[in-house]
């Protein structure tokens, strides 16, 4: 995809796109906190749709996160649109509805210079990642430890935490469809406190979550109610703000 620059420094991000989940680089040697489970309680009971306004360096875009159960699986979808750059970016994660362990990840980026595709398939203790672009096709295989997740499911996974001030947990995360070589990360989560946050959808009392990996940090704010919906997200490159949240919408 000639018109898009892929950069890997301390963070992995697709420049000019709002659809990439930027997370700090890490290594598989980073320690995981004990045997604490990440998932405390799954807050959703049916289909959901959350819409966001996203901004990165004065470039504005929109994001839509949806989830629904389909055929005994949980389908997690993220769709991003950047009209100024004529770019769309969509990611679908299929996961176990109880454990949120991923089965497949599919990503499609469309832009003025063509299309980029990525498919990740989890089987046993490995994930196979196939990427197809204008200038490069590649296949990578990464070993996957027990109790690991995929970065493209993180925004949903974090909603399931044991939200209380001071709670900490860490886990292994596979950075699969980043449009670079996939890798294994260690992600740490800390519930820092309660804050009131105002976004286009209104003012919410929220839990502020700090996300750390490889020396970098991000912040996310989740509503203090039964939904634990993501209200705001700041990954140090992009800021997401909730515009609307609907349940019962596939």
From the list 3, 236, 17, the residue with the least C-alpha distance to 134 is: 3
What one-character-per-residue DSSP string does 157-199 give? HGGGS--STT-EEEEEEEE-SSSS--EEEEEEEEEEEEEEEEE
Q: What is the pLDDT of residue 178?
A: 85
| 142 close to 184: Cβ distance less than 8 angstroms | yes
pLDDT at 20 over 60: no
pTM of the model: 0.88
As a whole number of angstroms, the distance between CA 225 and CA 192 comes to: 17
End-to-end C-alpha distance for the chain, whole angstroms: 31
- The residues that bridge with 173 in the sheet, in sequence order, are 149, 185
From the list 230, 223, 137, 154, the residue with the least C-alpha distance to 189 is: 154
Burial of 58 (0-12, 13-18, 19+ CB in 10 A): exposed
As a whole number of angstroms, the distance between CA 237 and CA 219 comes to: 11
Q: Which residues contact 84 (CB under 8 A, 6 or more apart)?
A: 59, 60, 61
**Domain-wise residue ranges, the chain:** 6-27+34-247
Q: Write the class of the CATH domain 6-27+34-247.
A: mainly beta
Q: What is the pLDDT of residue 30?
A: 55
| 186 close to 162: Cβ distance less than 8 angstroms | no
Tens of pLDDT, residue by residue over 189-243, are 999 999 999 999 999 999 999 999 878 899 999 999 999 999 999 988 899 999 9
pLDDT at 16 over 80: no
CA distances in angstroms from 201 to 51, 52, 110, 148, listed in the order given: 9, 9, 29, 33
As a whole number of angstroms, the distance between CA 15 and CA 191 comes to: 29
- The residues that bridge with 96 in the sheet, in sequence order, are none
Pairing mode, if any, of strands 168-175 and 216-223?
unpaired
Count other C-beta atoms under 10 Å from residue 206's C-beta.
24
Tens of pLDDT, residue by residue over 21-70, are 444 444 444 566 656 789 999 999 999 999 999 998 889 999 999 999 99
């Amino acid at each position: 995809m000639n018109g898009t620059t892929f950069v890997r420094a301390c963070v992995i991000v697709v420049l000019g796109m709002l659809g990439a989940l930027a997370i700090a680089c890490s290594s598989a040697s980073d320690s995981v906190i004990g045997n604490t489970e990440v998932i405390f309680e799954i807050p959703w009971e049916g289909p959901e749709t959350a819409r966001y306004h996203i901004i990165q360096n004065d470039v504005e875009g929109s994001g839509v996160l949806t989830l629904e159960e389909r055929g005994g699986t949980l389908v997690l979808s993220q769709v991003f649109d950047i009209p100024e750059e004529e770019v769309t970016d969509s990611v679908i994660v299929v996961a176990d509805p109880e454990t949120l362990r991923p089965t497949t990840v599919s990503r499609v980026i469309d832009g003025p210079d063509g299309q980029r595709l990525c498919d990740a398939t989890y089987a046993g203790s490995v994930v196979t990642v196939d990427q197809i672009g204008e200038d490069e096709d590649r296949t990578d295989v990464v070993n996957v430890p027990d109790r690991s997740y995929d970065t493209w499911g993180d925004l949903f996974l974090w909603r399931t935490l044991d939200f209380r001030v001071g709670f900490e947990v860490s886990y292994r995360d596979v950075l699969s469809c980043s449009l670079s070589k996939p890798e294994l990360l260690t992600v740490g989560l800390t519930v820092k406190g309660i804050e009131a946050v105002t976004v286009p959808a209104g003012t919410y009392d929220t839990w502020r979550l700090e996300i750390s990996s490889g020396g970098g940090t991000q912040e996310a704010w989740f509503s203090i109610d039964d939904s634990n919906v993501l209200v705001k997200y700041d990954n140090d490159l992009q800021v997401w703000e909730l515009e609307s949240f609907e349940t019962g919408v596939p």
